[in-house]
Structures are given as C-alpha cells and as structure tokens.
Amino acid sequence: MSGRSRLTGKTRDETLIEMSRNSLCDEDNNGFPHDTEDYPQPDPSEVDKHQQSKDSVFFRDGKRRIDFILSYVDDRDGERKQERRKEYEANLQKAGLELETEDQSESDDGKTYYVKIHTPWDVLATYADVLKIKVPFKANDIPAHKDIPMNWLFTPFRLPNHIMNPEPDYFTSPFNKEKIDFFLIDDKETFFPPSVRNRIVYYILARCAYHKEDSDDKNKKGIKRLLNNGTYGAAFPLHDSRYWKASRDPNSESERFSLYKHWARFFSFFKEQPLNLIRKYYGEKIGIYFAWLGFYTEMLFFAAVVGLICFLYGLFTFDDNIWSKEICSEEIGGNIIMCPLCDKTCGYWKLNSTCNSSWQSHMFDNVGTVFFAIFMGIWVTLFLEFWKRRQARLEYEWDLVDFEEEQQQLQLRPEYEIKCTSRRLNPVTQEEEWVLDRTAADLVGKVLLCWATVVLWISLIIACIIGVIAYRLAVYAAFASIMKDSPTNNIQMVGSLITPQLATSVTASCINFVIIMILNVMYERVAIWITDMEIPKTHLEYENKLTVKMFLFQFVNYYSSCFYVAFFKGKFVGRPGDYIYMFGWSKLRNEECDPGGCLIELTTQLVIVMAGKQVWGNIQEALVPWLLNWWGSRKARSHPESLYSRWEQDHDLQNFSHLGLFYEYLEMVIQFGFITLFVASFPLAPLLALLNNIIEVRVDAWKFTTQFRRPVAAKAHSIGAWQEILNGVAVFSVVTNAFIVAFTSDMIPRLVYMYAYSPGNDLSMKGYINNSLSVFNISGFSDDNRPDDGESPEWFNSSVITTCRYRDYRYPPGHEKQYTHTMQFWHILAAKLAFIIIMEHVVFMVKFFVAWMIPDVPAEVKARVKRERYLIQEYLHNYEVENLKIQLSHRNDDCSSNPVDYPDISRREVLSECL
C-alpha cells in the first residue's frame, strides 16, 4: 500500500482511513511534514498539574490543541470495558489521532480518567478533503452593502464589528489536499477552526471500531455504542475558556467569553445576535437555529403591534357595544328567562347574569377580529418568504450552497452503516456503496408497526380529550348547583366574575394541560424507538422522520382541545325538549357555549395552554440544567484554579444531546401554531409569543454558553423539515381562522341582523339579543330535563313564567313549524359559508401574489454565487496551467533538452497571491 492515506469506503473494515505505519511520521506527498518530534511527550509524572492553567486547552506540551475529550471511570468489574477501550484507542491511533491520558489521581474526584485527543494536520487535511469542507482561497472583492438610510437610529442595537464579523470575508472552495498551495494557509495549526476540528474528530470517533483485527464481530463500531454500554462516560469537545472570564492563555480565542458577554446575558435582549460568531463557535446547524429564532422574533413584533391595536379597539369601543348593554340592562336582560344549561341540577337563570362575560367577549369578538385574521394570513406569508431570503443569504455567507448532496452522500449514520450487508452501484456517483438489504415483508411490517404505534398514541390523546369533555359535562352540573345562590360573590375583586362556565373551563383547561405534559414525556421515547427501528440512512433523514412523528403527535396533543372548543362545543346540543347526549346513550348532555359565546372560552383555553407551555418550557430549559450543574459541581467550588482543569469543568456540565435542537424547534413551531391557527380568538397571542421569545433567545444562549458542554459542530443548510411544516401550518391557519370567525364568533349573525333584519333603516343593532334567542314552552320539558325542586332561584315562579329562551333561530311554540329552524337561520348559514369562501380566496390570492413577488434568493446573493463559481474555475485553471509549466520545465531541465515554447496564458495577479 502507498504512503498516502485514502478513504476506503468500506464500512465493515477496521478503520475508515487506511494509512501506512509510517505515513504519519514521514513527509506526505504535498510537502507538509508531520514530525512527532515537534511535540515532545513528557512523562505525566514530571508535569505538575498545579503549574497548568485552569483554562489550558492544550496537551501537556502546551502546543497540541485538545480537539476532543473522552472520560471514563475504571470499574472494578470492568475487564470487558478495559479491553474495548484498549482496542478502540489503539484503532484511533492507527487512524492518525494522538492521545494523552490524564490519570484518575489527577482528576478532581479521584476516579475519572480523561483521554485527550489531538488531530494532526495530515489527518485534518485528509478528512477535510473527504468531507469537502470549504476553505478560503481569495479575499472577497465585491463591494460592501450600501449604507442603510437613517442607519444611526439602529446604533443602540448594534454589536461591535469584531463580534459581528470575527473573520474576514473570503471566497471559498472545497478543500483539496492535492492543491494545498491554492488556499490561503497562514498557519496549519489555526487554519481549521476548533468547530471544524471537533466535527472531523467526531466523524472518526463515530466510525472507528473497538474489536480486534481477528474478531468476527465487525459491528462493534462507534463512540455512540461505547457511551451506551458504559465503556466511556462522556465524549465532548472543549469550551475554549470560562464563560465569565477570558482565558489567560494567549493562544486560546476566548470566544465563549465573548458570546456570554455580548449575547447570553439577559440585559442584551435588545441587541442583535452575533450570528457569525455563533456559527464559528457552535457550527452552522446551531447558527441556523438562532438565525431563524431571531428572525421569527423580529417578525412577531409587527404581528404583536397590530394584535395589540385590535385588542385596544375592542377595549375602547365598549360604548358602541349595544348588544352587551341590552344583556346588562334590567329592562331587557333582566326580564329574559333562560332555559337550564344542564339536566336536573341546573335551574333557570336571567340573561343579565352573563353581563361580565359579554363585555369580556367583546374585547376579542369585534370587527377588528376579522381584520386581524386576514392580516395574519398575509403576515405568515411574508414571514416565510422573507425567511427564505434570509436563509439563502446565510447559505452563501456560511458556505452551505450545494451542501445537501454532500450531507446525503458522506454523513451516513453509523447505525445504518453497521446494518449494511451488500454493495450497490450509486447511479449518481457511479461508485459502489453499502446498502441495507430489506425484504418487502420486513419493510412493510416495520412501516405498519411504526405508524400503527403513532395512530395508537393519537387515539390515546383523543380518548383523553373525550375524558376531559366528560369532565366538563359532569362538573358543570356540580358547579351550577353549588353556585346557584352565587356564593362566590363574597370573594373580593374577582368573585363576581366567577361563573359555573368559567370555573368549568379553567379547571378543564388546567387538567388538559397536565395530560398534555404527561403524554409528551411518554410519547417522546416511543417516537425515538420507532424511528430507530426504521434505520434511516442519514442524520437528515433520521431527523425528518422523527420530526414528522413528533409534530403530528404534538399537533393533536396541544391543539385538539382548542379544536373542540372552536368547532364542536355548542354546535351539536339540540334544543330544549330534544337535547343531544354524548355518545347518544349517556346521561351527559352535550355542552353548550357560554352565553357570551364560545369565542371567550376558546380564548381561555388558548391562554392557559399556550402560556402554561411557555412558562413550563422556560423553567425546564433554564432551571433544571442550572440545578443539575450546581449539584454536580458543588465539590469543585472549593478547589483552587490549578486543580480544576478545563476538561473537568466541562465534564461537570450537562450533555447537549443530538436531539437538543429538535426540541427547540418543536417548541417554537408549536407556538407558531398557536399564534396562527387560533389567532382570531386572541389577538394578544403574538404579543405573548414575542415576550416569550425575547426571553427564549437569551435563555437558550445562556444555556448553550454556560450550562451545556460544547456541542459537536454540525452543518445544516436550512431548518430542514420544519420549513414544510411551517408552510403547512400557514395554509391551514387561513382555513381555521375563517371557520373561527364564521362559526365560533358571533360576527356573522350580528352583521346579518344589522343589514337584513334590524327594524328601521339606521342599520342599528338594537333588538339583536331578543332576535337571536328562541322561545320554548316550559311544559315541554320531560322529567329528565326539568330542574329538580329547589334548584331554580327564588324569583322563579312556574305559575307565572311559562316560557324560557335559548340561543338558536327556531319558530316559537304554537307556530305551524314550531321548533324548526327559521329562514334567518339559513340566511346566517349561507352568509357564514360565503364569508369562509371569500376570506380564503382573498387571503390565498394575496399570499400567492406576495410569494410570487418576493424572490426566494436575493439578486445580490445570486451574483455572489456566480462570481465565486467563476473565480473557482478561473483560478483552478490557471493553477493547473502553472503547475504544468513547472513540471515540464523540471522535466526539460533533467533531460538537458532545449527549452520548449509554451502558449502565453495570462496569469492573474491574485493567482500569485495564492501561490
């Protein structure tokens, strides 16, 4: 075998990279020597740990950077683990990595061994070539952006330029080990930033075997398996300093300290995010998340302002609310006797008892609601289209253009590679690749099992919702009986606001929220289990499959109760004398809406679930890691600095799992659903989301910077499957809001009355309440429906009061069509359907027009991409021509022949800089 290293492509071999024994010690083919003599290995016993800096991120020689840490505790009964570690570390060294072990006697707890890993230049260059990592080859020569008008207004929100742009702007090209002198390499030790170095190391760790060469078990591969079986306790890259203090080592960048100072502190909430520094330190995948979260928060500001204006409109138009005045007046509302809202235990009641809920309903159920629903349909389109432009700009600036194909081809999951048993020709690359053989029966069986599990859990959610509905029906009757004499009026401030409907709605919403949280925890493990069983090929495919399952489940889990209140509650109740019961056979009568309308109940449900989720999420994200870290490092606080090394500090932090970002996205996308799907019922939802997200950005930043080990850097060119989910939610939100305005709100019945049924020609709402209530003869109640003795209030006299009213449009008793729907009912139904069709078409037309008008990729980015591709081709061409000249010149000199005339090919000035 030659002295060069090469990619084997055989996942079942001992190591992914084949190297000769002397390839790491001899000079490689590109003229870059790798001499271990440059890095002397001192005897650990000769090095006093007290003399080391607490912030050192280098080997004991002070020269080789620590790229990764493996830690373990040597168990008494751990002979198999010792054997695995021995073989694994030997194979890592065969793959070119350099290791240095800190003995347990040197650790702060006296039990933990730390294996420090350094990646030499030759290995970095080889894998950078394999992974097609883009590196700079020329400084960017495109003029900077023009100054934004009134830019000085944004000065308080700006960060220093060295924080926003920690690196110069370069044109980049995929690294090629054979053309090293083509790239701008000043120092091999710092050419690849730590995030790229730890990404390369993890790529090797995930594929390195821990079996002996003569072993028949070729499936023993990867650090993930070693972590799962307890061979190693942790594997992580190092932070470069303490977060509250810059490193004393001049060779350490202290980027963690800069991130904490300018990004992670809460009092920086009004500042822009240093996205380039985030990307440099944590990698593109985490950088894209924070870019999306920041952009989403910025766009929420506009939705929050408009929603607040609509809410204030409802607040300041109380005096124009004629129907609420009629409800509250003694002459109208005080003389309208309403039918019982439940059987037996509910008595008759006067309409003016719902005065407060009527006023509350008006704050959300007014003309502004319609405008805001239409506005949000357009806002969500602008948000998604402008995000595509922002994402396209980041893709170029962060060298992510055309990255997806590389990710699909090169970043296979080790769990998939282990299961591969045969090779097949890839029609795209025309190379043999390992594939997973599956029979049709096995594939269909696993798919059916996985989705049957998902359906089973969704059915469990629906069953829980039905249980909550049954609770509502049963408890409402109890609350109505207890509160018939208004005992809550004795409670100061809020006593008069508490009604049986409100008490039932609030307690049911709280119970539903608890059930949601419990089911989330249980289903999370199920979703991961069934996704693992599908054995996805790539990390991207794995996350996409898990995303679909988790979002589908959480969509039903979080939104089903809101859908029930919005579209089912109060819609199938029947009429007095002919009520509809749950399941048809139970004694639980279907729930009616609050006399103020179902919209206020939907608002209550939305506020409790949405606000509860946000508060619980922030507590879970911030408080739990802090408590765990405080408890885990309580012993180390008494140690002097020299005894508590950089790797020990990071070891005591919480591990950031490979699904950490998945849960962050899921939390925000669920919130996005709340503010779009049901925003017509609660215009303040975007304001709540905005306030939460301002905190969320800094909590996440603080958590990443202070509470978690440094994650392994990973690449991602977009937010992945979440983009399609957001698009689907955006389209669905137009439909849900149109139905909420039409069927949950009282907006359409009021408009129909004002324009078609109001007396006179002044388009007044006078008489609307009386018009919207039908009449029922009390004598028509059966014994099962009639209130029990003592349940009706003292003022009710059955000999005087013979009728009661209910919300519907039906003919009165004595009419030839008594208790059937009137023509006004059908007019209102037609108006509701017409409104849905018109609103949907108008919003969708505007959405598609806006999407067509706004290009996904800015013209400037297109020009920069074309410029970069042109430069790569031009400089590579000139580079190859110059190399050819030099080779032919050497050949002619060796042969002592006459000089050869070469064609005069122009050599650009910048080429000489590269060479």
Contacts of 783 (CB under 8 A, 6+ apart): none
Three-state DSSP state, 28: coil
pTM above 0.85, yes or no: no
Strands 337-338 and 349-350: antiparallel
Q: State the Cα torsion 895-899-901-907 to the nearest 10°.
A: 90
Dihedral sign (CA 739, 745, 751, 753):
positive
pLDDT in tens, 318-340: 777 888 888 888 888 888 898 88
Q: Please, which pLDDT band fits residue 21 given cuts at 50, 70 and 90?
A: very low
Choose among 729, 807, 819: nearest CA to 780. 819
Least confident of 286-300, 647-661, 826-840: 647-661
pLDDT at residue 2 greater than cutoff 50: no
**What does the alpha-carbon distance between residue 806 and residue 595 come to, in Å, rounded to a whole number?**
9
In this prediction, residues 9-33 reach a mean pLDDT of 36
How far apart, in Å, do the first and last CA atoms of the chain sit?
31
Are 163 and 274 in contact by the 8 Å Cβ rule? The answer is yes
pLDDT at residue 137 greater than cutoff 90: no
**What does the block give as tokens for 623?**
């408080």
Q: What is the pLDDT of residue 303?
A: 94
pLDDT in tens, 410-439: 466 767 777 777 777 767 656 666 677 666
**What does the block give as tokens for 711?**
């994650």
DSSP assignment, residue 733? H
254: left (phi over 0), alpha (psi -120 to 50) or beta: left
Q: Please, which pLDDT band fits residue 780 given cuts at 50, 70 and 90?
A: confident
In this prediction, residues 462-482 reach a mean pLDDT of 77
**What does the block give as tokens for 368?**
């502004």
pLDDT in tens, 535-555: 787 777 888 888 888 888 888
Question: Among the ranges 66-75, 178-187, 545-554, 903-912, which has the highest mean pLDDT value?
Answer: 66-75
Least confident of 10-24, 471-485, 792-806: 10-24
In this prediction, residues 276-301 reach a mean pLDDT of 94
Place of tokens 């122009």: 906
Cα 766 vs. chain centroid, distance in angstroms?
49
Least confident of 562-576, 582-596, 746-760: 582-596
pLDDT in tens, 204-239: 998 888 877 666 565 678 888 888 888 899 999 999
pLDDT at residue 365 greater than cutoff 70: yes
Q: What is the pLDDT of residue 117?
A: 95
Q: Please, which pLDDT band fits residue 636 given cuts at 50, 70 and 90?
A: low
**What does the alpha-carbon distance between residue 31 and residue 125 come to, in Å, rounded to a whole number?**
13
Three-state DSSP state, 857: coil
**What does the alpha-carbon distance between residue 364 and residue 604 come to, in Å, rounded to a whole number?**
11
Place of tokens 């003995």: 103
> DSSP of 598-652, one letter per residue?
HHHHHHHHHHHHHHHHHHHHHIIIIIHHHHHHHHHTTTGGGS-GGGS-HHHHHHT
Q: What is the pLDDT of residue 235?
A: 94
Q: Tell me the β-bridge partners of 806.
A: 774
CA angle 725, 730, 859 (to 5 degrees): 85
Going from the C-alpha of 546 to that of each of 179, 198, 534, 543, 655, the distances in angstroms are 40, 26, 10, 5, 21
Q: What share of the chain is helix, strand, coil (3-state, %, to 5)?
A: 55, 10, 35
- Number of Cβ atoms within 10 Å of the Cβ of 267: 7
**What does the alpha-carbon distance between residue 615 and residue 611 come to, in Å, rounded to a whole number?**
6
Going from the C-alpha of 156 to that of each of 20, 260, 402, the distances in angstroms are 58, 18, 37
User: Taking every pair of C-alpha atoms in the chain, what is the biggest distance, in angstroms?
Assistant: 130
Q: What is the pLDDT of residue 89?
A: 92
> DSSP of 378-406, one letter per residue?
HHHHHHHHHHHHHHHHHHHHTT-TTHHHH
pLDDT in tens, 67-112: 999 999 887 667 888 888 999 999 999 999 999 998 888 777 778 8
865 or 445, higher pLDDT: 865
Q: What is the pLDDT of residue 53?
A: 64
Q: What mean pLDDT is reported for the chain?
A: 79
| C-alpha count within 13 angstroms, C-beta hemisphere, residue 646 | 33
Q: Please, which pLDDT band fits residue 256 given cuts at 50, 70 and 90?
A: very high
Contacts of 867 (CB under 8 A, 6+ apart): 142, 171
485 or 579, higher pLDDT: 579
Choose among 296, 307, 314: nearest CA to 375. 307
**What does the block give as tokens for 129?**
């070539």
Q: What is the pLDDT of residue 22?
A: 35
Q: Tell me the β-bridge partners of 116.
A: 69, 100
Scored b (16 or more CB within 10 A) or e, 36-61 reads: eeeeeeeeeeeeeeeebbbbbbbbbe
Going from the C-alpha of 216 to that of each of 13, 79, 86, 423, 679, the distances in angstroms are 11, 20, 18, 19, 61
858 or 693, higher pLDDT: 693
**Quick one: three-class SS letters along 712-745?**
CCCCCCCCCHHHHHHHHHHHHHHHHHHHHHHHHC
